[in-house]
Amino acid sequence: MIAMRALVNRGLSSPWGKPVWFILSCLPFLWLVFAALTDRLGANPAEALVRSTGDWTLRALCLVLAITPLRTVLCLTALARLRRMAGLFVYFYVVLHLLAYAWFDMGFEVADIARDIAKRPFILVGFSAFVLLTPLALTSFNRAIKALGGKRWQAMHRLVYAVAGLALLHFFWMRAGKNNFAEVAVYALILGILLGWRVQRRWSGAWRNYFGAAAVGGVGR
């Protein structure tokens, strides 16, 4: 196990770690382009493109939220190097998803898009998630982190938890119309575990600090 962990850490922090992660993250996009060009998207290619870019946005979001738990629990410290790129890929796939919707469903008619966002709650929720992701993508660079200051940057990037909640609600609402919740339940479980892990860590940290302080106080007295 230790040898395996060392191997993975060495691989991730090698000069190949980032390029390999980049190529792996591009594969869904490259597959969709290939499938579109070779007529492999099924009977309704437009719908397939909107849906699969939505699926990949949600998967990329789960992956980003899994980095810190995996890094901590499995001691895969080198994963930290890939977090920014993983986050930017969430944005890349949501932009593709939004573009696919704006193009195939709405013919790039801005007024129709605005009306649709106001009319259909699941679109409004998805769009809100996109809006919240935008400042996170724009401030993912070192210069922005410096300009904002570490604490403010960290507080702002907690918006990703709201994005996860909105993304799940968007998916749930969309599938509610079809009474098909199996996949939604799987993503809810994954996101629940990833967010629950953080809450549990915060709570145990707070309790440790409280009792630690009490113990220190006791010794002092």
What does the alpha-carbon distance between residue 67 and residue 86 come to, in Å, rounded to a whole number? 9
With beta carbons less than 8 A apart as the criterion, state whether 32 and 53 touch.
yes
For 93-126, letters b (16+ CB in 10 Å) and e give bbbbbbebbbebeeeeeeeebeebeeeeebbbbb
For 36-67, letters b (16+ CB in 10 Å) and e give eeeeebeeeeeebbbebbbbbbbbbbbbbbbb
Q: Counting contacts by CB under 6 A, is residue 89 touching ligand HEM?
A: no
Q: Which of residues 112-151 bind ligand HEM (CB under 6 A)?
A: 123, 126-127, 129-130, 133
Q: Counting contacts by CB under 6 A, is residue 58 touching ligand HEM?
A: yes
Q: Counting contacts by CB under 6 A, is residue 51 touching ligand HEM?
A: yes
When binding is defined by CB under 6 A, the residue of 62, 171, 191, 194 that contacts ligand HEM is 171
Stretch that binds ligand HEM, among 53-61, 79-87, 143-151, 190-198 (CB under 6 A): 53-61
When binding is defined by CB under 6 A, the residue of 32, 54, 88, 160 that contacts ligand HEM is 54
Q: Counting contacts by CB under 6 A, is residue 190 touching ligand HEM?
A: no
What does the alpha-carbon distance between residue 31 and residue 118 come to, in Å, rounded to a whole number? 33
Binding site for ligand HEM (CB under 6 A): 47, 50-51, 54-55, 57-58, 61, 94, 97-98, 101, 105, 123, 126-127, 129-130, 133, 163, 167, 170-171, 174
